Structure formats: C-alpha cells, structure tokens
Amino acid sequence: MAIRDIVFYPNKILEQKCPPVDEVTDEVRQLVDDMVETMYDAPGIGLAAPQIGVKQRITVIDTSAGEEENNLHVFINPEIVEREGNIRWEEGCLSIPGVYENVDRCRRVVVRALGRDGEPFELEAHDLLAVCIQHEIDHLDGVLFLDHLSRLKRKILMKKYKKHLAKLKREAEANNRDAGE
Ligand code: NI
C-alpha cells in the first residue's frame, strides 16, 4: 500500500467524468488499498479516484475516519438507485482544503456498486453516510461541492481558499528552509 498525492482544485481532472471499471482486477484492488491509506492519512472520511489523479469510478468512504472498526465502504462503479428526503450538511473536500459550506443533499439513498471483491451489493445509507456517498459520486462525474453553491457563496469561498493555499505554500517553504539548514 502507498499514500498517494491528493490533487487540489482547480486541477482539471476534478472536473471530468470518470469511466467505469471494466473488471475488478488485482491492479484495481491495489488502487483501492492505496486510496484507503491515503484517505486515512489525510485524514478524511471519503476519497474518490480522481482525487489521486485516476480517472475511474471508484470511491472509498469511512465516516469514522478509521476510528471505528468495520466502517469502511468501497464502491466500484457506484450508482444511486433510490433517493429521498432532504438534509443540509456542512461539507468540505480533501481537494479543496480549508473551506467548508452547507450543501443540500438527499437524506436517504440506496447505492448499488461492486465491492473490493468484485461482487455487487446494495447499501441503504442515511444522514452523514448518505451525504458522503453523494459527495463522492459527484466527484466521479466531475462535480464538486462548490458546484452546489450559489455564485456569491462560491466567490466568498474561493477567496478563503486562495488565502488557505497561500498559507499552505508559506508553511511548506518554511519547512523546506528548516530541512535545508
Ligand atoms: Ni471531495
């Protein structure tokens, strides 16, 4: 397993629709394992393949961020087959660090996908898990949580995001300087 680099907005891959996985091979399982490790390392509660630069319909979710056992979900070629109700949740994204905003989603979804073993399954999810599934499947269609916001909110968020990126850059430069001494 390996921790992969996370792609940041506005990288173009985050705006592209991913094609489905043809077959769940050992290579796909390796990719899934790397995604899980990368998500836990971040730490985050969900990660989609395009966020590590891979255009495939794969996402991993653990709403406990690895704190609880048996909470990890792997979805290959996921598809929402039922949706119901409304919920507003404050979302963030590992590819758009430092900014958070309320997004309206469905409260309950049923998702159909293949697991890491290549077997099809269906899962009914509510609340946070349902929100995560919708956020991650959006990634596979090149849609970001920003795309659900009003133009004004998006503009405000982008200002914050630019500041946050500049801060990250300064911190990285300072770290490099320390390491060089
Ligand atoms: Ni995201």
- CA angle (169 as vertex; 164, 172 as ends), nearest 5: 125
Identify the active-site residue in 136, 171, 173, 181: 136
Class for domain 12-151, per CATH?
alpha beta
Is residue 85 left, alpha or beta, with left meaning phi > 0 and alpha meaning psi from -120 to 50? left
Across 102-131, average pLDDT: 98
| For residue 73, pLDDT beyond 90 | yes
- pLDDT score at 181: 61
Share of the chain above pLDDT 90, in %: 92
Across 31-55, average pLDDT: 97
What predicted TM-score, i.e. pTM, was given to this entire model? 0.95
CA of 144 relative to ligand 1 center, distance in Å: 7
Q: Which residues contact 96 (CB under 8 A, 6 or more apart)?
A: 8, 9, 144, 145, 146, 161
Is 136 annotated as catalytic? yes
> Mean pLDDT for the chain?
96
